[in-house]
Structure 1
């Protein structure tokens, strides 16, 4: 009987969020087992808040100390979703009979157990993590559960967080996050502000815009705030929270989340919130690959024209189409 499983996913915030479906499969199929994760420091608080995780080990960079922690936990199985030679060197010391890695890169030949984790054309990238877990469950005689309609039910706290963001009356809170984590392009503050102003002018919904930010993004958010305030648009600067977990929980207050940064967009997807995402124009179809976990009709996605010279130029996005789609969504679902 498997009592303890280690899942390794030690990369960016968005990548960890898109691993929640895989963790959900594990925990649902094996409710009595301890599902444990190895994550990057930036993700620790969010991993600890994840309802499918029982224990978190953080990547401190001290491989010897991390290996000792792995050994002490006495895992029955290890699933390496983020495969690196460094990871192999840490886990090969473990007295664990089943270690599963994806079939890519040359390190696959170092593992006894491997599985295809290449999601098909037209599938989102989060399917890769699920494919590994599904292989693991099948190999061990577990049924593969049906994934839920929503991965994080924080509805009991929605009113509290709406109050935090100064919600009043029949207002709909439209969150907007400037900047980018690097996987996608970045709208200029002028384009972002103009988009929000036009949406507010054209929709029949009573909107209040909430500008979220972290670190250097505060300057961008302030620039957008000033432009909206000059046009008498209702807008607030989000008061920073003490941890990523609190921020992630607080997004339950949103009625829509608009961003070019995939991390916050993916967190919004956990709550099944309507997302408006801006992605670089690449032939690898980032709109599909990096799609959020929200239901299909709640995902609005846009890119500039595909190409080396145009793909990263977010000013080339058809903002008239964005405005039309967003206003139609708001008026259909909230007016």
Structure 2
């Protein structure tokens, strides 16, 4: 395929030129965690252009939760092909042409699609073959994993702002999801349904793992819970639609602690609304951990001891003082989750919870 240049190629992200009229399209059509870690980048664009429509193009699976981001004016739910949302001809039907598009991950079919629409400003990472379709690129070297994923995403939004000749403002923080119809009675109702005293701390444990990173076993989580239990908390084991057997297995190993199982079957938005009740959310490095973080809930997350999959690169959006990360110790194999001292983890979290209750 011969790609004709539609404008002189600046080759760097600091090429200063204003944006024409039209909405700004933000593209992140992959997994839940990746999309949630793009929310600060989405927010930065809307904060800088509050009067310009900001559109998120995401996979149909994540679209319902992105609707809850107050910094997004419209969400395009892309059909999923090979695990990732893809533009189709129907996507552009009766829609105004965006003034700019930002791809937060280089993806050949989608980059080709926005090039074919002749979007004037097309910005994305200077990596992979897909970069040929962008007329503004940012060299990031994400494989070095020297900062969080959300910060890499934010760099791209900041590049767009500088492209318009401006300087970015402060990075937005969590919570980055908002539900208009929530009330204080929601926690009371959830507690009544699951037998949870409202005056106690509720510790949610999510044993499932939808990503590539290994997660602790039910026996490992039970060791954590045994130590935390001394703080007087109650436990909620969470499960997505296909995760009930694993949740029930964990409930069996924790039966002496009388946990309750919350089997979410009402979709991502319903799950997110109920995660707001967590006083602490414990899991492996997976989408629900990032969902809790985007809600500014305290997170305790287990990671491999490896930069590309570790706690710096994949930290949650929870505030720093409420974000805990645990890895195998130095000297152990990076993915050997059995090397973690889970009882010590539980003691640390239990002390924090007890102090929070006081």
TM-score, normalised on structure 1? 0.89
- Identify the residue that residue 177 of structure 2 maps to in structure 1: 152
Distance 1:2 1:117, change over 3 A: farther
Q: Does the 8 Å contact 2:35/2:62 carry over to 1?
A: yes
Alpha carbons of structure 1 residues 83 and 234: separation in structure 2 relative to 1, 3 Å? same
- Cα distance in 1 for partners of 2:110, 2:263 equals 38
Q: Aligned in 2, Cα 1:239/1:215: closer, same or farther, shift over 3 Å?
A: closer
In the alignment, does 2:112 pair up with 1:83?
A: no
**Corresponding position: 1:213 with 2:232:** no
Q: Map of 1:1-335 to 2, 5 A cutoff? A: 1-61=20-80, 66-70=88-92, 72-73=94-95, 74-118=97-141, 122-150=146-174, 151-152=176-177, 156-157=182-183, 159-166=185-192, 167-200=196-229, 202-203=230-231, 206-229=232-255, 231=256, 233-284=257-308, 286-305=310-329, 310-335=333-358
Structure 1 stretches of 4+ moved >3 Å: 61-65, 117-122, 152-159
Structure 2 CA distance, aligned partners of 1:195 and 1:13?
26
2:8 aligns with none
- In 1, the alpha carbon distance for the partners of 2:287 and 2:86 equals 30
- Structure 1: distance between partners of 2:149 and 2:279: 25
Q: Over residues 139-177 of structure 1, what are the superposed CA-to-partner deviations in whole Å (9 max), with x where a residue is unaligned?
A: 113442323342235595354045224342411111100
Counterpart position of 2:15: none
Deviation at 1:106, TM superposition (A): 3.0
Distance in 2 (alpha carbons) for counterparts of 1:82 and 1:65: 14
Q: Distance in 2 between matches of 1:158 and 1:196?
A: 27
**Counterparts of 1:162 and 1:289 in 2: how far apart (Å)?**
36
C-alpha contact 2:241 2:263 (8 A) present in aligned 1: no
**What is the TM-score of this pair, normalised by structure 2?**
0.84
Cα deviation, residue 14, structure 1:
0.3
Q: Distance in 2 between matches of 1:322 and 1:223?
A: 21
5+ residue gaps, structure 2: 1-19
CA contact (8 A) 1:175 1:256 kept: yes
Please state whether the residue corresponding to 2:215 is helix, strand or coil.
coil
Deviation by residue 1:207-248 (Cα, 9 ceiling, x = unmatched): 11111111342111112212322x1x2421114241101211
What secondary structure, in the 3-state scheme, does the structure 1 residue paired with 2:317 have? coil
Return 87-96 or 291-300, whichever deviates more.
Answer: 87-96
Question: CA, structure 1 residues 266+162, in 2 after alignment: closer, same or farther (shift >3 Å)?
Answer: farther
| Inter-partner Cα distance in structure 1 for 2:87 and 2:318 | 38
The alignment of Structure 1 onto Structure 2 pairs a total of residues equal to 329
SS where residue 64 of structure 2 aligns? helix
Deviation at 1:121, TM superposition (A): 5.5
2-structure distance, mates of 1:213, 1:114: 40
How far apart, CA to CA, are the structure 1 residues paired with 2:169 and 2:197?
A: 40
The structure with the greater share of residues assigned to helix is: 1
Q: CA RMSD in A?
A: 2.4
Whether contact under 8 Å (2:27, 2:103) holds in the other structure is yes
Partners of 2:86 and 2:128 in 1: CA distance: 24
Deviates most, 118-127 or 169-178: 118-127
* Conserved? CA contact 1:174–1:210, under 8 Å: yes
